Amino acid sequence: MEFYELWKTNTEEAFAIVRTYQEYLAKQRRRLAVARWIKKIEQVQKLMEFIDVKLNKKVGLKRAKGSLINCRLCSVA
């Protein structure tokens, strides 16, 4: 309601607030996109580590399998 009243009395200031908020949203959108990209890379690395351990019959199978618990790329674990 305060923004509406501000918009009625002083539109320039209201538009300045809108621009500031839009810039904030753009920064958040970029930050979240990078975070999703990093998470996806980490999941691929964990999956490849699990496959490597599984194929080479190495000892670290439990640890590698445990790292896949929250992996959305696979349903192996």
Do the domain assignments include residue 74?
no
12-46 pLDDT, tens per residue?
Answer: 999 999 999 999 999 999 999 999 999 999 888 88
Q: CA-CA distance, 40 to 22, in Å (whole number)?
A: 27
Q: Would you place residue 76 in the very low, low, confident or very high pLDDT band (cuts 50, 70, 90)?
A: very low
Domain annotation covers residue 62: yes
Query: What value does the mean pLDDT take over residues 69-73?
Result: 66
Spatial separation of the C-alpha atoms in residues 71 and 51, rounded to whole Å: 13
Q: What is the pTM of this model?
A: 0.62
User: Does residue 33 fall inside a structural domain?
Assistant: yes
Does residue 43 belong to any structural domain of this protein?
yes
Domain-located, residue 72: no
Q: Given the structure tokens 């975070």, which residue do they identify?
A: 35
The domain total for the chain is: 1
| pLDDT reported for residue 70 | 65
In a domain, 75, yes or no: no
